[in-house]
Structure 1
């Protein structure tokens, strides 16, 4: 295999992992109410490196940033540096996606789709970076925050496309095996996306409850105030679990790769159900919320990976005219 393809695949994988980390960091920012920890963009309180204490800020900083709520609150270095880590991670992903694009251009003669996929991811990363500035300017408008998060799923999808198209032929799936589970996959994927969107709406309701709470960290009774959207979210969660278990069962009847994907899928479902139960049963623990969203993003990534897995190549024997399958995970071929 072309060494550049291996480098491209590794860079794309690193970028996907970085995006997942950013989703966790961004959710942590929201869960800890640190979204306005830096009230301006791209600087933070007008500085490239955020201040460490209130003494490092101008005496009138509360008046300067009054429209962001600083007229009623004081500087909190933990909130500020949590948001700054979010921005640093986003910047790092910008560079990683650029490097992925450059490597894809270098191997464009091998696969013309690689620059398109990597280029799409780079553009989407840039657009999402701009949208991050809009999040600050709109003082964390709920719809903008949700869009900002969901676009990260699009970046994951495009980068996984790069990964899959650079995998060796041993990662291809037997076409007859693929037909056993592939029809279930779009249903499971669609339900996962719907559930993630509903989860974002639940989160918006939590933010509204938090805005009227006397103490942000004392969350007793918050769950009861969320409303009907939480009930809908829980009903759809049941559908998500059933659809993905059905998919896992179909995968478990396939080859080695499919069975491994089935095990990973079941493990992710178990983690998500546990985290969701913890959120409802233990009054929305702050640390659990980002993990729950990270689990949803990882589940989407696994489903997207399965969706784009390519069928095994089929070659015609010149001596007998019969077909022979190549590159299947089992390593076996149809007799000539």
Structure 2
């Protein structure tokens, strides 16, 4: 298989990873995370129980988990597509290791990530939506997409940038800082969703209650007391307000950092395209977040908020890759030029 075909396989796998993220958000937001109370099957069957006989047997096996066909199908569809993604990443590794010239590190890391992601998917069910597991599952999905995107970028040609000499170490460091800030904000969003704190505040800019007086840092304890189920949340009102407000403050900080980064990136002509994309995604994400608050978390908007979040993260990955390549071409112009045939 030629290198171009290998890169195409990476691109298709990456596109599927975005579908998995969207399906995961839809599954969570429709309360279908426990649509099947067991794993990897559904009520003891390989797929969703069909017919009166199978559904009666499902009810006898799991009397505390009433069968709901729509939720079961949502959950199993997510598992089927996620399983397909895992197989495609396995195939990607086989392709990579069959040809010495292909990268090995990122494919291997991807395989390890998707295996751990499968475990998190299992624990999401067996630990009945424990928030730290749900948040970890979200981050695992975003990590998988980011690694696939990074691999796709690395397989592309490395253009020599005439303005690369003016790219400073400071810009590279700030671009990395912006990436880490976005990752932190995504984690906060995952924690907000996992603890059902998304609609606890219905006013802007912060909250309709005196959140300063009731701010409770225990809301961020990753290990919570054991419960029969964590569905619909187990934290009290003050704790959920704390999480929600912190997520909003994090959004403001993230926006300020990315605007500052955009101003620095704009000075480099070669980076203006990805800068415009990053700012557009930031604006869209802020708009979706505000809509979630004022419209009480519409399903389509909430799913779009998740998808735009991963796209914003990917734009930061692209920024960091381009800044890194510009730094490299500035340090080693002859080597980069030889790679691109210039």
Using structure 2 for the length normalisation, give the TM-score.
Answer: 0.78
Structure 1: distance between partners of 2:5 and 2:147: 17
In 2 relative to 1, CA 106–181 (structure 1 residues): closer, same or farther, beyond 3 Å?
same
In 2 relative to 1, CA 281–131 (structure 1 residues): closer, same or farther, beyond 3 Å?
same
Q: How does 1:1-336 map to 2 (within 5 A)?
A: 4-52=2-50, 55-66=52-63, 69-70=64-65, 74-108=66-100, 110=101, 114-170=103-159, 174-179=163-168, 181-206=171-196, 226-256=240-270, 258-309=271-322, 310-311=325-326, 313=329, 327=337
Structure 1: distance between partners of 2:335 and 2:109: 33
The offset of 1:77, in angstroms, is 1.6
In 2 relative to 1, CA 204–130 (structure 1 residues): closer, same or farther, beyond 3 Å?
closer
The offset of 1:173, in angstroms, is 8.1
The offset of 1:168, in angstroms, is 1.1
Using structure 1 for the length normalisation, give the TM-score.
Answer: 0.80
Structure 1: distance between partners of 2:265 and 2:184: 23
SS of equivalent residue, structure 1 residue 170? coil
Aligned residues of 1:37 and 1:79 also touching (Cα < 8 A): yes
The offset of 1:59, in angstroms, is 2.3
In 2 relative to 1, CA 259–84 (structure 1 residues): closer, same or farther, beyond 3 Å?
same
Structure 1: distance between partners of 2:193 and 2:146: 24
Question: CA offsets per residue over residues 62-117 of structure 1, 9 Å max, x none?
Answer: 34213xx42xxx42221111111110111111121112212222333x25xx1111
In 2 relative to 1, CA 174–47 (structure 1 residues): closer, same or farther, beyond 3 Å?
farther
The offset of 1:181, in angstroms, is 3.6
Question: CA offsets per residue over residues 171-223 of structure 1, 9 Å max, x none?
Answer: 7685325437423212211111111111122113327989xxxxx9xxxxxx9
The offset of 1:270, in angstroms, is 1.2
Aligned residues of 2:29 and 2:299 also touching (Cα < 8 A): yes
Structure 2: distance between partners of 1:124 and 1:277: 32
Aligned residues of 2:9 and 2:92 also touching (Cα < 8 A): yes
SS of equivalent residue, structure 1 residue 22? helix
Q: Quote the RMSD (CA, aligned, Å).
A: 3.1
Gaps of 5+ in 2: 201-231
